[in-house]
A and B are shown apart, each in its own frame.
Chain A
Amino acid sequence: MRRVAVVGAGMTLFRHRMLETGKEMAFEASRMALDQAGLDIKDVDSVVLGSAPDAFDGVHMKGEYLLDGAGGTRKPYTRVFVGGGTGVFVPIAAWWQVASGVADIVLVVGEEKMSPLLPHPQYAFWSIFDPILERPLGVTLLWIFSLEMRRYMHVYNVSEEDIALVAVKNKRNALDHPAAQLAANITVDDVLKSEPICWPVKRLDVSPTSDGAAAVVLASEDIARRITDDPVWITGVGWNVDSTYWTNRDLCYPEYLEKAANMAYRMAHISDPKKEIDFAEVYDPFDYKELHHMEGLQLARRGEAPKLTREGVTQRDGDLPINPSGGLLGVGNPIAAAGMMKIAEVFWQLRGEAGKRQVKKPVRRGLAQAWGDLMQVGTVVIMER
């Protein structure tokens, strides 16, 4: 197994509606990542793209459509897909290209343009449900996540106030992110009083729909050492998909994420993640998901994440900073690009390049995680200096 490093990262603004096409956004993010690595597209051996449902753009084989924007013309190029977990999965698919020795430099691009879908991108998600058993109910993602949130609150006796603290923290963290879409200084009261969308999910509990792209460059050890003094190593990767039948699972705890995390921890030789992970970018499309995922990642005991949040442990200056970027709640949620944003944030934090977002304590090891499908996929990447 060859060592694999991240050597550059870039991202576009995350906005509700970008004037740039998907191809242009993919180009912009790729160009920034290559620039930071000091590389040109002709140095790249292979390109991997991540993008979520084709239904957003109304383009079949969206990977082929975005090909030239992502730099894939006349190169080995492919697209991988695990729903919302895609963003953190794309670098994993690039990792095995480098680790296996098939490629030396791989460009990894996450792109999403949700705005073309009218009246609202949420409509595309209706088509993710089982066509016979679930679609006739007119079910939406917000429904099923409100079920999950309610179950989590019930089993661990978590209050809406505790959950709202996550939205307050992440939106405030995002004030320091130059690409952020929904950074704000809000209070717990604002969250509680915001319009209920599907109780207990309220408007400020949810991340926005967004357009955006993010990219990183991966390189083999010898090349990484040649082009940078400060490579960040990918030391653990893991992913896991649970059964399609989400109705048959206890939604209070993400077992699939525990298994994905354990796969990554084993590879990175981590036995006590709570002590050995310095900070984490966990997937927070809803505020309760940050807590849920901290527990699945075993960064907190079951039901303990709200307490850590209340005590300020997860703040940027806390013992275990979670989502110092501002996360999806603050920076925005262009699905595959959002996961890639987390990979980029871990890279910048570990290099000390996060500027005002830099966490207080010195950091050596960070984790990025994403989640998707029918509350079913966990993807985990561990990075170290």
Chain B
Amino acid sequence: MTKVAIIGVGYSGYAPLTPHMSFKEMMFEAAKRAYTDAGINPRTDVGSFICCEEDLWEGISITDEYVPDQLGGAQRAVCTVSDDGLVGLINGYMQIKSGLTDVVVVESHSKLSNVVSQGDVTRMSFEPYYERPFLTAETAVALEMRRYMFERELDDDIPAMVVAKNKKNGLGNPRAPYSAILSMDEVLSSPMVCEPLRKAHIPEPADGCSVTVLASEEKARILVDQPVWIRGVGWFSDTPWVSQRDFSKAVYAEGSSKMAYKMAGVNTPAKHFDFIEVDDSYGYKELQHLEALGVYTKENIKRAVEVGETDLRGPLPVNPSGGKISLGDMVEANGLVRVVEAVLTLRGQGPRSLRGAKHALVQSWRGPPTASGSTVILEV
């Protein structure tokens, strides 16, 4: 079966507010960049278009109606995967692997600046009878954060160090609107939202659109000089009930990474990757995810943060792009945003210290209250 490569990436927005662009214009701009990057014409070269979005974030029911035109997909095979952008990418990968088509476009976007009440919308994703009356995103997250920190014996300063690291990484990334030099003390003195969760732990909302172009090996070799190969994919869900989960670990990240490692033949994830892009919501999620991915263990994760192993210049840079903390929360686009970052870094267009990187892992999580996530392994 054919190998699958990412041959083009494009982005647009990546800002707290984008009043000069509608979501359609943002999609058009990102798609145009991705098509130019891949050297394709969407009207003749693309077999399938996939968009990842959710109705309530868009404020439009059956929101896939509003997708085709600005991507060049009218009267073509277009569909919506109501999931994280990374799962959309995985579906595109499978479409090519199955032989259905040889070029697939995957798009995901966020126009959170249009959402007046983000907290209320998130609240509507909680189970309506038993969980919604009691929980909000912040309280559910704080419960899990507290439990995780308790079990790993982490002080408040460890998640704060992750936040500070990612804010700083973002300063080297022209696309990261929320990057900053932020000391650990500043994180710890930011307002308490729901103990131990502070305002500085929470990724700020952002607008943005990411588009990737995938192609079969044959097409990729004709079209571009530097394809980025997708070596393994995985997606996985834990129980939807917040109350039934083991708060100390990210089962979804474990499940999705095992699937991807098996496909890619990765036996020692701790040594395999030159850098990793994981979901870093609230600081502690980065650590929980790194454990679930098998890159660190519950014994050595604390020390890894303390000695700076995951820093940009450390032995295993984690979130060199600045992560969700610096790039902002782009809801369903989060996974695809990181794929774009990883692809640019693998092509040598990322941080200088990562020139020559060959192996990368991208992991994503759909955010509270879900326990669904995905993993993709990339290689040049």
- Residues of chain A having any CB pair with chain B under 8 Å: 1-2, 52-55, 57-65, 67-68, 72-83, 89, 93, 95-97, 99-102, 124-125, 127-128, 130-131, 237-245, 255-256, 259-260, 263, 372-374, 376-377
Nearest A residue to B73 via CB reads A241
Whether the Cβ atoms of B124 and A60 lie closer than 8 Å is yes
Q: In the bound complex, do residue A97 and residue B64 qualify as a contact, i.e. CB atoms below 8 Å apart?
A: no
Task: Name the residue in A62, A76, A240, A256 with the highest tally of chain B Cβ atoms < 10 Å from its Cβ.
Answer: A76
B240 beta carbon closer than 8 Å to chain A:
yes
The residue among A97, A255, A260 with the most chain B CB atoms within 10 A of its own CB is A97
- Which one of B89-97, B143-151, B178-186 is at the A interface? B89-97
B28 within 8 A of A: no
Taken together as a complex, chains A and B put the C-alpha atoms of A237 and B77 apart, in Å, by 11
CB atoms of B240 and A64 under 8 A apart: yes
- Given A67-B237, A76-B237, A128-B60, also A59-B125 (CB < 8 A): yes
Q: Give the residue name and chain of the A residue nearest to B370 (CB).
A: A64
In the assembled complex, the Cα of A60 lies from the Cα of B241 at a distance in Å of: 15
Contact present for B62 and A60 (CB under 8 Å): no
Flag whether B308 is at the interface (Cβ < 8 A): no
Among the listed A65, A73, A131, A241, which residue makes an inter-chain contact with B74, where contact means beta carbons less than 8 Å apart?
A241
- Closest chain A residue, CB of each to CB of B93: A100
Q: Is B36 an interface residue (CB 8 A)?
A: no
**Taking the complex as formed, is B1 at the interface, i.e. its CB lies under 8 A from any CB of chain A?**
yes
B94-106 toward A: CB 8 Å interface, digit per residue (1/0)? 1111111000000
- Given A96-B95, A100-B94, A101-B97, A72:B237 Cβ within 8 A: yes
Q: Say how far A258's CB is from chain B's closest CB, in angstroms.
A: 10
Q: Which residue of the partner chain, among B79, B233, B236, contacts A239 with CB atoms under 8 Å? A: B79
Q: List the B side residues contacting A244 at CB < 8 Å.
A: 65-69
Count of B residues near A, CB < 8 Å? 59
Q: How far is A74 from B252 in the complex, measured between Cα atoms in Å?
A: 7
Known: A79-B82, A241-B74. 4 other contacts (CB 8 A): A52-B62, A58-B128, A65-B125, A244-B68
Residues of B within 8 A of A82 (CB): 64, 78-80
| Chain B residues within 8 Å of A131, by CB | 59-60
B65 touches A374 (CB 8 A): yes
Q: In the complex, are the beta carbons of B125 and A75 less than 8 A apart?
A: no
Residue of B nearest to A335 (CB): B62
CB-contacts of B352-372 with A (<8 A) = 366, 369-370, 372
Closest chain A residue to B24, Cβ basis: A244
Q: How far is the CB of B187 from chain A (nearest CB, A)?
A: 29
Which chain B residues border A2 with CB–CB below 8 Å?
98
Q: What residues on A are CB-neighbors of B125 within 8 Å?
A: 59-61, 64-65
Q: Taking the complex as formed, is B259 at the interface, i.e. its CB lies under 8 A from any CB of chain A?
A: yes
A59:B239 contact, CB within 8 angstroms? no
* Cα-based distance from A255 to B75 in the complex (angstroms): 8
Distance between Cα atoms of A82 and B81 in the complex (Å): 9
B77 interface neighbour in A60, A99, A239, Cβ under 8 Å? A239
Q: How far is the CA of A255 from the CA of B91 in the complex (A)?
A: 26
10 interchain pairs, CB-CB under 8 A: A61-B125, A65-B125, A75-B236, A76-B256, A78-B81, A78-B82, A93-B91, A101-B1, A239-B79, A241-B67
| Identity of the chain A residue whose Cβ is nearest the Cβ of B259 in the assembled complex | A76
- The residue among B67, B68, B127, B234 with the most chain A CB atoms within 10 A of its own CB is B68
Q: Measured between alpha carbons, how far is A61 from B367 in the docked complex, in Å?
A: 11
Most buried by B among A64, A68, A93, A263: A64
**CB pair B69 A245 closer than 8 Å:** yes
Judged by a CB distance under 8 angstroms, whether B76 is at the interface is: yes
User: Within B190-231, which residues are at the interface with A (CB < 8 Å)?
Assistant: none
Is B306 in the interface zone, CB < 8 Å from A? no
A73 touches B1 (CB 8 A): no
Q: Considering residues A58, A74, A78, which has the most beta carbons from chain B within 10 angstroms of its beta carbon?
A: A78
A58 to B128, CA, bound (A): 9
Binary flags per residue of B51-75, CB closer than 8 Å to A gives 1, else 0: 0001110011110111111000111
Q: CB-CB contacts of B1-37 with A at 8 A, as 1s and 0s? A: 1000000000000000000000000000000000000
**B124 near A58: Cβ-Cβ < 8 Å:** yes
**B238 and A74 contact, CB distance less than 8 A:** yes
Q: How far is the CB of A257 from chain B (nearest CB, A)?
A: 11
Residues in B with CB closer than 8 Å to A96 are: 91, 94-95, 97-98, 100
Given contacts A100-B98, A241-B79, contact A128 B370 (CB under 8 A): no
Residues of A within 8 A of B259 (CB): 76
Which 7 pairs show the lowest CB-CB distances between chains A and B? Answer: A100-B97, A99-B98, A241-B78, A60-B124, A60-B125, A1-B99, A53-B61
